[in-house]
Structure formats: structure tokens, C-alpha cells
Amino acid sequence: MDAKPVFARPEDGVRRLVVIGGVAAGTKAAAKAKRENPDLEVTVLEKGEHISYAGCGLPYFVGGIIKEGKDLLVRSPQDFNKDYGIVVLTHHEAYKILTEEKVVLARDTESGQEKAFSYDRLIIATGAKPVVPPIPGIDLKNVFTLRKPVDALKMRSALEKAEAEQRKLKALVVGGGLIGLEVAENMALRGASVTVVEMLDQILPGFDLEIAKIVENHMRDKGVNVLTDEKVNSFEGDREGFVIKAYTTKRTLDVDLVLWATGVKPDVTLAKEAGIALGPTGAIEVDENFETNVKGIYAVGDCAQTRNLLTGNPAFYPLGSTANKMGRVAGTRAARQSFLGTAKERSPLYVLGTGVAKIFDMAVARTGLSEQDARKNSFDAETVLVPAHDRAHYYPGHKFIITKLVVDKPTQRLLGAQIVGEGVVDKPIDVIATALTFGGTVGDLAAIDLAYAPPFSMALSSTIVAANVMLNKLSGRMTGISPVDLKRRLDEEKGKPGGSASRPFMVDVRTEAEFLTGTVPGAVNIPLSDIRRLKDVVRGAASELDLPDEARKLLRLPRETELILICRIGQRAYLAALELKRLGFLNCKVLDGGVMSYSFGLE
Amino acid sequence: MSVIKVGARCLQCPGPIVELHKASAKASPGDVIEIEATDPGFKKDVVAWCKKTKNELLKLDDFGDHIVAVIRKC
């Protein structure tokens, strides 16, 4: 038999691979390339002290949930050399790429020595850096960004020092994104008094307002001061240069420690100077193999541009999950002249921006497009907001979660989802991400055969219930109004004189007991059981006098009155709408997700 | 004054608050109602309900898999 070895082809021509950046995507690419082509000489240049660290774990190191700094380090340079035969040079800052000569120039920041590294293939994994505006006081001591283990260490020391001195640390987080909120939680759990300031009108960019509001309310319940629509303009320090005050557009805050977390931007200086093309997001433009416009040069991780799976538009999602996938593919493609794989692969260039975060007792997750994203991209979007349990209601420990689905009305294709609550959200968001990846419709989602047993799910899982509510809406069985739209309507009506004809009549159809736990301001209480009796009165089978006042008032309303029906989660309001339609009230709307999802304050 | 015990374990929302409301309607001022529920939403509900109905919430314990609330009817 004349079996040729598939691997180890010295004639391949690709002998040297240089990787710039050794955190997530860079080390993944280097290790994968070496496995693909064991003859390849692989060198990783990392300007920092550590490689392969878990950047996403830093907030938990600040809070002490991850106790040891070494726990964050996935692998050491020595491991890489010993286990993989990869040369890792830390404290090596690449400062120029000579694309013609195929050489990277780097400086050893410890010895000051300058070195040149020849390559056949180059992978750029320079990551992203925090966006920090040059405002007064930004350089003061105890004003941090969180990108590297050393940042986390400094923040933790400040927390520990305050703890040792039995002093309540006053911490300020600027930016209401995931990292900011995770650190806010960790510092609060550590005993600090924490304020979050967000410039936009909501925290959690990328999520819709009502979902962000639920998280915001939860953070307030946990003692975090959340300020939106507010911008930090400057800081003031004491004589030793430690930050003591923050000046916002609305107030002055006393602070001992500041985390500046208003997002990151791709670190592309090196690539740009080498003539490598950037995309409209400012990140490096790559093809499905993560190759740049310069042949033989690849870009992966937070410095590279992805595309949104649903719109096809250039996207920038600096996420560890995406970075690792990119690294793997680029490592395979860069390792040899011609790619040897025969398996049917799909490029991870197209992403959904799926993400999840724990915020105190809640978790919040998203995938695909938010309602805001969908409208921006001119989709004719329909949404539902459906509270449900994460497992059987009779099984101890079950919790509520609220699922929001966004669907393209004409095609009924899923566009995205957001899930929030104290229960399990990561499983359902992954189910929906899977459906989105395969181009699923809402009907597909409703029909998926999901695992069920009481400790894990409801017989009809929360995801399927949400899909079914969406099917009801799409088929015209139900008309809804979202909490955001209702809030907007109520605010508009506030400015108008009393008894305005456009004012909707809001009916809370829950029992009196539940009504007393709080409702949408202005709603009256007519329990569903009374609404069911209305038809007897209309038919003459019962006397109007048997009805409570509010129900009598409802019966006398013109039939074209806009009725907004409210219950706890939306189900009884839907039943009430069906009853009222039979009585001729055709303009009935159900408050999506009921009072559970109405995050704008109950009375 | 009497102590009224209400078992509302395994009742799905709105079961527990409805049971409490019923018990409270029957109770006399000064009576103490002790209610046990597994519905996680009950915790928030009972706080809001007491505030609105002006009954006194004497105790509210969350044991993770069940909640115990003690209320004095005013």
C-alpha cells in the first residue's frame, strides 16, 4: 500500500508563523496552527506580562469570587513551549509590520532590545482597548479601566484596603455595559457603596429598554445607585493625587475609586500603518477565513471585524466566545499553503452577538437583533414579552424568567431574543441562538422537541410558550402593546387635559388581592370573573346591578374605546380580550408580559 | 387575638396572595396570619399588598425554596 502521510509536508512552503497578541484569539490560533502543521515554527509576541488570561473573569477577581490571580491565567508561556513547542515572548511589543519583506519588528520592553521576526504567515490578534476620553482628572490615582489582570489587582487592593480600615468604599462605575455592571455587582458584594453612571437613557446597550429597566430596578433593590441620562465630565483629586470627586452633568459625587467602562475600540494602529484595510466599524476587515486584504496576513479576536448573521452588515462584537472561534479557524488556514480539511465547516465570521451576564440574583441574556436593532435595519418587527417559569411551577426552587422574542413579520423568521430573570436564562438563549443560526421561524421554535422533566423545564418550556404567544399575535388572535409603548402613551396623555378622548381605558383583570400588589398607574380593577359575567348582563340574563361599579362603567363605554387589558403575565388579559371582543369591543390590546414586565413603576 | 396559619405551598401565582387576601378578609384586627409559599413572586407581592392594604408585615423569610411571611391584620 502506498499511503501518503497527510500531514507533515515539508514542501508546503509555510514554515514560520508569527502571532501578534497572546490573549484569547492569538494563543488559540497559535496552538491550532501548530496542531495542523507540527513542522511550523510558531512565535507569539505579547506586549504584556501575561498570555492566555481570562479577561472575562476579571470582574470576579475584583470581587474575590476568583481568589487567586493565577486562576485567571489559562496557560503560561512555559506551558506553551513545553506542551506545544510554541515560542511565546512576553514583554515583546510589535511596532511595525513590513508586509513586502514579511517581517515584524518588535521591541523587548524589558531589555530595550529591538528584534526582527520573519514570517510566511502572520496573525494579528492585538485585541481592543478601553475608550477613555481625555477629561480632566482621568489620570488621577484610583481611576481605572479593566482590561488586564494588573488592573483587576489594583482595584481589588483598593477594596481590600477599605475593608481592612473598616471604611465603606465609595465606588463609581462609568458606563452601564456588561463589564461595568459585573464590576458594580462585585464591588457591592464586597461592601462598597456603588454608583453607576450611564450617558444613555438606559443601561445595557444592545438590550431593549424594558429589559434594561428590569435589571436596573434589580440593581437598585440591591443597593446600587443607577443614574442614566447622565455624563461624567471631570474628576477632582486630593493633594496626593487620589480621586475624591466626580462631576457629572447633574451632580457631584464623592468617590474613592472609579472604573471607566464605556466600551472598547479595536486596537488597530499596527495593522493600519501596515496598510491593512479596516472596515466601517474601525476593526480590521477580514474574509471568511479571517484573512485581511494583505494575503498571508490574518486578523482575529477583538481587533477583527465580524458580520451580523441576520443583516450581513459589518459588526464589532468584542466577545471571548467569538474570539476563540476566530482564532481556531485562522490557525487552521494560516498553518499551511492549502487547507486540507474535508469536513463541512461554516465560517464563524457571521455572529449573533449572543451574550449573557449575571447581575446579582438575576441573569440577562441576548442573541441576534434587539427590537431597536431590528427597526434600525428596517425590519417590520413584531415582538412578544412572555414571563414563565424556568422549570415546573410545583418543583421547589423554580424561578421566573421573561422572554422577549423579535420576529420579522412578513417571513415570520426569528430575528432575536432577550431573556431576563432570576431563573435559568442561558439554556433558553442558547436554544434560540441555535434556531437563529439555522434560519428558523417562530413556528420552528414552537415545534422544537426540547428536554423536559420538572427539575429542568416546564412541560411547555418558556421558549415554546413565548413562540406560541408570538404565533397568536402573528395570526391576529391577539393584539398587544409593549410596556415601552404604553409608558410612552401614558406620558403623552399626562400633558393633555383630563378626559382626553385619546386616553385608553386600562383594566387590570386580576383578582382584587393581586391588584393590591400594584398595577400600572391609572388602571382600574375588573377581575376576569366579572368580565366573564358581562355577557350575561348584555343578554339580559343577569342584572347590571350585580356588577361592580367599574364593570358597569366599562359596559357603558363606546365600543370603539381603546381598552388596554392588564394581568400578571398576559394570559388572563388575553382571555379578557377574547370575551370583550365578543361584546363588540374590537380595539382591545393586551399589555405584553403583564405587570411582571412593566418595569416603569407600579402603583 | 389568634394566629391563623395558611399553607400556600405549591400554589402557582396568584394562589398565595389570593389565599392571604381571603384569610385577611375573615380575620379580625390584631390577628396574626402566617403564610408559607413556594412561589418566588410571593415575596414582592406580599410587601406591596401589605403596604396597599395597610396591614403590618411582621416577618418575611426567604428560605430559598420557600417563603414565610407573618402579617398582623390592622
**CA dist., res. A180 & res. A258, Å (int):** 11
Residues in chain A: 603
- To the nearest whole number, what is the mean pLDDT of chain B? 91
**CA dist., res. A589 & res. A480, Å (int):** 5
The answer to whether the CB atoms of A396 and B53 lie below 8 A apart is: no
Is A228 in contact with A176 (CB distance < 8 Å)? yes
Name the residues of B annotated as catalytic: 13
- By the CB < 8 Å criterion, does A459 face chain B? no
Partners of B33 on chain A (C-beta within 8 Å) are none
The answer to whether the CB atoms of B40 and A422 lie below 8 A apart is: yes
**According to the CATH classification, is domain A11-128+265-349 in 3.90.1150.10?**
no
Domain ranges of chain B: 3-57
Instruction: Note the pLDDT of residue A279.
Output: 98
Best mutation target, B9, B20, B38, to test chain A (most A CBs within 10 A): B38
B42-53 and B15-26 helices cross at what angle (nearest 10)? Answer: 30
Q: How far A435 CA sits from the closest chain B CA (Å)?
A: 30
Establish whether domains A355-474 and A480-597 are of one fold.
Answer: no
Is B35 in contact with B9 (CB distance < 8 Å)? no
The answer to whether the CB atoms of A398 and B48 lie below 8 A apart is: no
Burial string for A33-48 (b: 16+ CB within 10 Å, else e) reads bbebbeebbbbbbbbb
The answer to whether the CB atoms of B17 and A513 lie below 8 A apart is: yes
Pairs across A and B, CB distance < 8 A: 51
**CA dist., res. A579 & res. A562, Å (int):** 15
Backbone φ, ψ for residue A188 (5° rounding): -65, -40
The residue whose grid cell reads 391609572 is: A522
Of B14, B46, B52, the CB nearest to A511: B14
Domain ranges of chain A: 11-128+265-349, 143-262, 355-474, 480-597
Tell me how crowded residue A81 is: count the other CB atoms within 10 A of its CB.
12
Instruction: Please name the residues in contact with A176: beta carbons below 8 A apart, sequence gap of 6 or more.
Output: A196, A197, A198, A200, A202, A203, A204, A205, A212, A226, A228
Of B12, B14, B66, the CB nearest to A393: B12
Q: Is A373 helix (H, G, I), strand (E, B) or coil?
A: helix
Instruction: Note the pLDDT of residue A317.
Output: 93
Give A581-602 as a DSSP string: HHTT---EEEETTHHHH-TT--
Per run of 10 residues, the mean pLDDT along chain A (length 603 residues) is 50 87 94 94 94 86 87 82 93 97 97 96 96 97 92 93 93 96 96 97 96 97 97 98 98 98 96 98 97 97 97 95 95 86 86 96 98 97 96 86 98 98 97 98 98 94 97 95 96 76 89 95 96 93 90 94 96 96 95 96 93
Q: Using CA coordinates, name the residue in chain B closest to A602.
A: B48
Q: How is domain A143-262 classified at the CATH fold level?
A: FAD/NAD(P)-binding domain (3.50.50)
Tell me how crowded residue A7 is: count the other CB atoms within 10 A of its CB.
13
Binning pLDDT at 50, 70 and 90, where does residue B17 land?
very high
Of B14, B40, B52, the CB nearest to A399: B40
The residue whose grid cell reads 433593590 is: A221
Asked whether the ipTM of the predicted complex exceeds the cut of 0.85, the reply is: yes
- Residue A94 CA, chain-centre distance (Å), reads 32
Best mutation target, A390, A391, A516, to test chain B (most B CBs within 10 A): A516
Residues in chain B: 74
**CA dist., res. A393 & res. A545, Å (int):** 39
Partners of A510 on chain B (C-beta within 8 Å) are 14
Query: In this structure, what C-alpha cell is assigned to residue B33?
Result: 396570619
CATH class of domain segment(s) A480-597: alpha beta
Q: How far A556 CA sits from the closest chain B CA (Å)?
A: 29
Helices (H) and strands (E) in chain B, counts: 2, 4
**According to the CATH classification, is domain A355-474 in 3.50.50.60?**
yes
The answer to whether the CB atoms of A516 and B52 lie below 8 A apart is: yes
The answer to whether the CB atoms of B21 and A399 lie below 8 A apart is: no
Of A397, A398, A518, the CB nearest to B48: A518
**CA dist., res. A280 & res. A348, Å (int):** 19
Q: How far A398 CA sits from the closest chain B CA (Å)?
A: 7
Of B38, B39, B45, the CB nearest to A517: B45
Provide Rg for chain A, Cα atoms.
Answer: 28
Partners of B12 on chain A (C-beta within 8 Å) are 393-394
Region of residue B17 (left: phi > 0; alpha: psi -120 to 50; beta: else)? alpha
Give the residues across from A248 on adjacent strands.
A232
The hierarchical CATH code for the domain B3-57 is 3.30.110.40
Q: Using CA coordinates, name the residue in chain B closest to A516.
A: B49
Single-letter residue type at A216 = E
